Chains A and B, each alone.
Chain A
Amino acid sequence: MPDLRFTEQALSEWMRSGGSHSEIVISTRVRIARNIQHHPFPLLATKNQADEILNVLAPVVDQNQEAGYGTFELVKLDELEELDKKVLVEKHLISPNLVNDSRSGAVLLNEDESVSIMLNEEDHLRIQCLFPGFQVREAWERATAIDDIFEESVDYAFDVKRGYLTSCPTNVGTGLRASVMMHLPALVMTHQISRILSAVNQVGLTARGIYGEGSEAAGNIFQISNQITLGQTEAEIIDNLHGVAIQIIEHERNARQRLLDDSALRITDRIMRSYGILSYAAVMELKEASQRLSDVRLGVDLGILKAPSISVLNELNVKTQPGFLQKMFGEELSSAECDMYRAKLLRDTLGITH
């Protein structure tokens, strides 16, 4: 039976500390895709072949515990309830792909859930490292160190010309995808976001909303990541993302300051209203919850609100997702019931209980 704490706690341990620029950057994630030579990729692998991959890769981290990334636990996807899978996706510990398309899919999670190693996802091995706040270089250093550990035990599919060979042509070369999750409400409010996002696209990066739709992401949370994996070194990819993210942080800061300078009363009113609605509403759709939580987060960052803490807001962002709500309030919730329980959860957490 898999360890339940991975799905019962909304917030991974690593999320509890802030990290740098945490008023804007929520988290940093680096993942590297690897495959083993002379084994079909998971797309074509039979159950036996996929099990073999599992048997080869899963023990590697246990044999290397002295490396200092904590003890890893193997969670096999077919031993999990549907709802628990959903929750792991909502916590970003596994990808939707691992749930939908995977044969013998599994994940190795360390104690604080800062390292998540997916097996038999689209590639045999996907090493993912998560850090709070803005820590692109740190996340890459950890991921590459774990990559080295695997490399000592297995023969990677690697080609001099093409680099690390991956299932999808979009990952070939370094297999590296680095991303920062940013909260950019002021850039959205001041209508600068689309200009910035299109600029981001021009330098080989891509931006997309999480928990939201396209460029008008609900919750104003955007994920900026590298698009190119071939023809650039890992250091170039990391530096590029780092540099661009710093600029976006700067723009967001300036936009926040301008909002305070030009329309302090209006922005304060909006933040207070959102806080009020979250604290008293009886029905709350996910989209509205995300938007209002974004306002409250901005209020806390700007010093307009003293509470709740950023950690509580991070937790609410996860807990208000459908999987988590069902986990807490009952497995068979209709969407209307979800909206009701979401509102209850928000009321309970933000201090007003009825």
Chain B
Amino acid sequence: MLCQECGVRPATLHFTKIVNGEKTEFHICENCAREKGELIPGTSGGFSIHSLLSGLLDLEGASKGKSTAEPKPHEVRCEECGMTYGQFSKLGRFGCSSCYKYFDKGLDPLFKRVHGSTSHVGKIPKRIGAQIQFKRQIDELKEQLQQAIVEEEFESAAELRDQIRKLEKEIAQE
């Protein structure tokens, strides 16, 4: 299907708007979406595709943006590719894989809404699989350690700490 705006490129974005039970469908290409200031043709009030995604991404910003010590969520920057969280929420795309690390705080609500989940449970690359198993173990032990400290069980906390150190040493040797 061709884009209903330019009629040249294939439509890659498909929307259905329902107002008072009246259904309207839009089929446009990304270029036109971008050129039209991300507006969906025929709608008023500036509802945009990316504002939909931004709406999800801004959740974190709305609740946490008031802290003065931390940079405002929109100014958080990925140190590898330079993309800011603000740019990310506008584009709806990450700039590089490190963005996931720098924007981590804002991602759980987004992933929860898009996927209904925040953690991967699928395939792991074989080559780094062993290391990841170690890391998963360490993360679990760390959680247990925190719990032990909270509950003031210092003996088991010490044991857990030693186990973590041992695993970390094994990773370092790999």
A binds B: yes
Interface residues of A (CB under 8 A from B): 35, 37-41, 43-44, 89, 96-97, 100-101, 122, 144, 147-148, 151-152, 155-170, 172-174, 176, 204, 208-209, 211-214, 228-234
The reply on B10 being an interface residue by CB < 8 A is yes
Q: Which residues of B contact A176 (CB under 8 A)?
A: 122
Chain B interface bracket (under 10, 10 to 19, 20 to 34, 35 or more): 35 or more
Q: How far is the CA of A155 from the CA of B97 in the complex (A)?
A: 12
Does A100 lie within 8 Å of B117, measured CB to CB?
A: no
- Residue from B92, B120, B123 within 8 A of A168 (CB atoms): B92
- Residue from B25, B27, B110, B115 within 8 A of A173 (CB atoms): B115
Q: How far is the CA of A204 from the CA of B115 in the complex (A)?
A: 8
Chain A's closest residue to B57 (CB) is A169
User: CB-CB contacts of B98-117 with A at 8 A, as 1s and 0s?
Assistant: 10110000010011001111
Does A40 lie within 8 Å of B95, measured CB to CB?
A: yes
Q: Which residues of B contact A41 (CB under 8 A)?
A: 81, 93-97
A193, chain B: closest CB distance, angstroms: 15
Most buried by B among A101, A167, A228: A167
Chain B's closest residue to A36 (CB) is B97
- A169-B110 contact given A158-B125, A234-B122, CB 8 Å threshold: yes
Does B126 lie within 8 Å of A170, measured CB to CB?
A: no
Chain A's closest residue to B135 (CB) is A160
B51, chain A: closest CB distance, angstroms: 15
Chain B's closest residue to A231 (CB) is B117
Chain A's closest residue to B124 (CB) is A158
- Residue from B29, B81, B135, B136 within 8 A of A44 (CB atoms): B81
A300, chain B: closest CB distance, angstroms: 25
- Residue from A144, A151, A213 within 8 A of B1 (CB atoms): A213
Does A228 lie within 8 Å of B117, measured CB to CB?
A: yes
How many Cβ-Cβ contacts under 8 Å join chain A to chain B? 141
Does B100 lie within 8 Å of A40, measured CB to CB?
A: no
- Residue from B12, B80, B92 within 8 A of A38 (CB atoms): B80
Does B92 lie within 8 Å of A169, measured CB to CB?
A: yes
Does B126 lie within 8 Å of A173, measured CB to CB?
A: no
Does A231 lie within 8 Å of B83, measured CB to CB?
A: no
Q: How far is the CA of A60 from the CA of B10 in the complex (A)?
A: 31
Does A158 lie within 8 Å of B128, measured CB to CB?
A: yes
Q: Which residues of A contact B121 (CB under 8 A)?
A: 231-233
The reply on B127 being an interface residue by CB < 8 A is yes
B172, chain A: closest CB distance, angstroms: 17
What are 16 A-B contacts defined by CB distance under 8 Å? Answer: A40-B95, A96-B12, A100-B29, A101-B30, A151-B127, A155-B128, A158-B125, A162-B119, A168-B92, A168-B93, A174-B120, A176-B122, A214-B16, A214-B25, A231-B119, A232-B122
A218, chain B: closest CB distance, angstroms: 8
- A151-B126 contact given A161-B119, A173-B115, A228-B115, CB 8 Å threshold: yes
The reply on B74 being an interface residue by CB < 8 A is no
Q: How far is the CA of A24 from the CA of B93 in the complex (A)?
A: 36
Q: Which residues of B contact A168 (CB under 8 A)?
A: 92-94
The reply on B14 being an interface residue by CB < 8 A is yes
- A174-B30 contact given A151-B127, A232-B117, CB 8 Å threshold: no
Does B95 lie within 8 Å of A213, measured CB to CB?
A: no
Does B91 lie within 8 Å of A43, measured CB to CB?
A: yes
Q: Which residues of B contact A97 (CB under 8 A)?
A: 12, 30
Extra A-B contacts (4), CB below 8 Å, given A44-B81, A100-B30, A122-B93: A40-B95, A97-B30, A151-B127, A228-B114
The reply on B118 being an interface residue by CB < 8 A is yes
Chain B's closest residue to A166 (CB) is B94
Does B116 lie within 8 Å of A165, measured CB to CB?
A: no
Q: How far is the CA of A101 from the CA of B127 in the complex (A)?
A: 32
Closest 8 CB pairs of A and B: A231-B117, A163-B120, A157-B97, A230-B115, A165-B97, A174-B122, A214-B25, A96-B10
Q: How far is the CA of A99 from the CA of B12 in the complex (A)?
A: 12
Q: How far is the CA of A168 from the CA of B50 in the complex (A)?
A: 12
- Residue from B94, B119, B124, B135 within 8 A of A165 (CB atoms): B94
- A231-B93 contact given A151-B127, A156-B125, A169-B110, CB 8 Å threshold: no
The reply on B77 being an interface residue by CB < 8 A is no
Q: Which residues of B contact A152 (CB under 8 A)?
A: 127
Q: How far is the CA of A43 from the CA of B81 in the complex (A)?
A: 11
Q: Which residues of A contact B95 (CB under 8 A)?
A: 40-41, 43-44
Q: How far is the CA of A169 from the CA of B132 in the complex (A)?
A: 22
B117, chain A: closest CB distance, angstroms: 2
The reply on B156 being an interface residue by CB < 8 A is no
Q: Which residues of B contact A100 (CB under 8 A)?
A: 9, 29-31
B151, chain A: closest CB distance, angstroms: 26
Q: How far is the CA of A39 from the CA of B99 in the complex (A)?
A: 12
Q: Which residues of A contact B25 (CB under 8 A)?
A: 213-214
- A167-B94 contact given A96-B10, A156-B125, CB 8 Å threshold: yes
